[in-house]
Structure 1
Amino acid sequence: MADETRDERRTLVLTGASRGIGHATVKRFSREGWRVITCSRQDFSDDCPWPAGPEDHIRVDLSDQEDVGYAVSEIRRRLEANGSQLHALVNNAAISPKGEGGSRLDSIRTPMHMWRDVFQVNFFAPIILARGLFKELAKAGGSVVNVSSIAGSRVHPFAGTAYATSKAALAALTREMAADFGRSGIRVNAIAPGEIDTAILSPGTEKIVENIPLRRLGLTSEVADTIFFLCSGQASYVNGAEIHINGGQHV
């Protein structure tokens, strides 16, 4: 007799779910019937469109290592409560602090405490979560997707130095994780979005678009589609890759 309390849906854990790429990713996976456990600094909003949102949302401050540890324990508890397996972890949350008037913070003017906060959220939180949920991912033959950035491979006019270097480190971490986690059947890949049309765009973005071969901004849904592909069986032999989603901007 089947266990009626067991949730047979595939399960995703996603950080940074409240807006932009994260929001689009939740909608994409929910549409495919996945259970989505979201992690964000914000409380769950009633405006959010996916089912079971309040029950599957965890408020966590990724800049606080202890809070990330709490999130790992809470995710495990929620998985165990109804016998779910963990099929995917998407490390999407990131911070990109600006100077006065939204100015770019370079390597000379970025305060050291800001470097630490940026690296904690953008780099250390992803590996803490992946290590903390390693057994759950391995049991399901799961997948990890790290959201890097085009800023990780070139000086960007808006993204600050701390953000850019944290994303470069995350891309390198993806390679190392693919080698280490792959032995346990866990695939680890990264995506590197370019200029994506979100609610908050930096002034001057239209000038960048002029030099993008496709001559337009990317859509959050296009990024979400790529993340879904990497977490699906269609990408079952893709490991250690970084996929550029930028309309050819990187060329």
Structure 2
Amino acid sequence: MIKERLNGAPLHALINNAGISPKAADGRRLTSLTTPVETWMDVFHVNLLAPILLAQGLLDELKLGSGAIVNVTSIVGSRVHPFAGTAYATSKAALACLTREMAHDYAPHGIRVNAIAPGEIKTDILSPETEALLAPIIPMHRVGTPDEVAKVIFFLCSEAASYVTGAEVPINGGQHV
């Protein structure tokens, strides 16, 4: 479908932003002890395999556009989080590793590959309870906005980042420090 819409035109940016983070029936995070195998497979198919399949499938168009790929990982890829489950966290950690590998593999084709690792961002997924609980422990004392995330993605896709590849940029108000 994407290739058909491009119809041979160059692709300048591929943003791999899809992700799923299933919860238990009661809303709690799924742990390594409680996550069913089917859930692991679903999470890894969406969060890890889809980005590599899209990049492979759009390689020619990305080469034509000297494109940039930005993978959306997460703060939870490097630490245990009170709400994000184990499958989600490990898929995002794997995506960070994949980003480095892709940066190496795609560089000879003129394609840069980077990642962003957002923390808590004010989207429909973020509950008011989560925001109230986490904002006080974030050094900037607030959650981020989608616009703040978009600006970093835009930078990574722009000529201003022409020598940046293999990086994972945290966007979390200092939550990782």
TM range (shorter): over 0.9
Letter in 1 for 2:113: V
Structure 2: gaps of 5 or more residues: none
Give the aligned partner of residue 167 of structure 2.
241
Give the aligned partner of residue 121 of structure 2.
196
Give the aligned partner of residue 123 of structure 1.
48
Letter in 2 for 1:237: Y
Post-superposition offset of 1:174: 0.1
Higher relative contact order (CA 8 A, sep 6+): 2
**TM-score, scaled relative to structure 2:** 0.97
Secondary structure class of the residue paired with 2:89: helix
Secondary structure class of the residue paired with 1:243: strand
Give the aligned partner of residue 91 of structure 1.
16
Query: Is the CA contact 2:75–2:119 (under 8 Å) kept in the aligned structure 1?
Result: yes
Range with bigger deviation, 130-139 or 184-193: 130-139
Alpha-carbon distance between aligned partners in 2 of 1:216 and 1:125, rounded to the nearest angstrom? 31
Alpha-carbon distance between aligned partners in 1 of 2:155 and 2:19, rounded to the nearest angstrom? 22
Give the aligned partner of residue 2 of structure 2.
75
Runs of 4+ in 1 over 6 A off after TM superposition: none
2:103 corresponds to 1:178:
yes
Structure 1: gaps of 5 or more residues: 1-73
From the CA coordinates, give the structure whose radius of gyration is larger.
1
**TM-score, scaled relative to structure 1:** 0.69
| Cα distance per residue 1:86-112 (max 9 Å; x no partner) | 001000000000002211100000000
Could you say if the C-alpha distance between residues 106 and 233 of structure 1 is closer, same or farther in structure 2, counting changes exceeding 3 Å?
A: same
Alpha-carbon distance between aligned partners in 1 of 2:163 and 2:114, rounded to the nearest angstrom? 11
Identical positions, percent: 64
Alpha-carbon distance between aligned partners in 2 of 1:236 and 1:199, rounded to the nearest angstrom? 33
Alpha-carbon distance between aligned partners in 2 of 1:204 and 1:140, rounded to the nearest angstrom? 40
